[in-house]
Amino acid sequence: MGYHFYFYIIILLLITEMYKPNDITYPLISWYKSNKRNLPWRNAFNHENAPYQILVSEFMLQQTTVATVLNYYDRFIERWPTNKDLSNATEDEVLEIWSGLGYYSRGINLLKTSKIIFHDYSNKIPKDIDTLKTFPGVGEYMSSAIASIAYNLPSKAVDTNIQRVITRYYQLDFKKPARNRKKVQDIVLLLTSNDSPRDLIQGLMDLGSSLCTPKLPDCEKCPLKRGCNSYKNNKFEFTLKKIKKIIPQRYGRVYLIERTDGSYLLERRAEKGLLAKTYQFPTTDWCEAMPPSDFLESYQKMNVVGKVNHRFSHFTLELTVIKVDYESSDIKNITVKLKREKLANIYSGRKLSLIIKKLEDGTNTLVSLIYPVNNTTSVEIRKVQNN
């Protein structure tokens, strides 16, 4: 054996002695087995479908809380129980189930990933982290989480909860979380190489979400308090006070183009960008000041019926709702009846339903969705009264 091998062993021993992984893994896994959250994607680890369910959950959990994801996850798995089922879905079908969850590119990327796995990997979700990272929307964290949680393999999976727990336990510089991230990843890799990666990763997540919270951590109940440097030194700060940012305001007009038969025109948003590929009523651009009324500017049958406000993560939007009467006989296609509340399922953020409510008050309205036969980007909504 060469010099490099012995040098590696010495470094490994020094790191192990420095971070003492057994002081974390044993008490944490014991605590996790007694206190773990009952999450639906954790109930399939002994089933061949487990990697698929973990894949779906990880896509949904990006920038979204567990509580929000739960209802969407159950509906999604009920609709597409396996990766093969999902690979045969269309973008419109996925976006319908995804509606209201936000960050719609995640749903589109999940569908793309599913199709790649089905066609290029014999419908088997890879175990290799580098391979997983090549899939649309799968980055360093998600690929590591899938490897550890689905396949019980060591990884560097670090989310905000794990980052906080490790930073506090070793009392790393809380003012520089980005600089510490690689160190935290290396520690997590060491920990997951020492004992059950799946239980350890999920244990760190659950500990961070329940006890080792950003504010007022419940240290007395923490299974790691004996070795926690922050607990010993009574220093629990983790995040700096954020400077309050002024949220930009944007304005626009949204047009309800109504036919004499009571149908409305919809358009589909662009392939990329905010709310990509979702349906909406025709709108102007969203600007810092109200944009010029260049859309249907010469049309006389226009009526302002109200305003709709919505807050995105990085700006707030105020839309002036304008009703336009329009005559056309060009309705040719298949009609799919939806109850009015189902309008939310074809439009992100449920704004379409809110706009409709500006026009009418009543719960007995049905809505029919008319799909065009050609490759246009518009559809029509027809209102039909219940008998």
Q: Provide the greatest CA pair distance for the chain.
A: 87
Q: Which residues are catalytic?
A: 58
Q: How far apart are CA 147 and CA 127, in angstroms?
A: 6
For the chain, the helix, strand and coil percentages under 3-state DSSP, each to the nearest 5: 45, 15, 40
Instruction: Yes or no: say if 222 and 47 are a contact pair by the CB < 8 Å rule.
Output: no
- The DSSP secondary structure of 98-156, one letter per residue, reads HTTS--THHHHHHHHHHHHHHHHSTT-----HHHHTTSTT--HHHHHHHHHHHH-----
Is-contact 132 147, C-beta < 8 A? Answer: yes
**Which H or E run includes 183?**
helix 177-194
CB-based burial of residue 303 (10 Å sphere; 0-12 exposed, 13-18 middle, 19+ buried)?
Answer: exposed
Q: What angle do CA 375, 380, 386 make, to 5 degrees?
A: 145
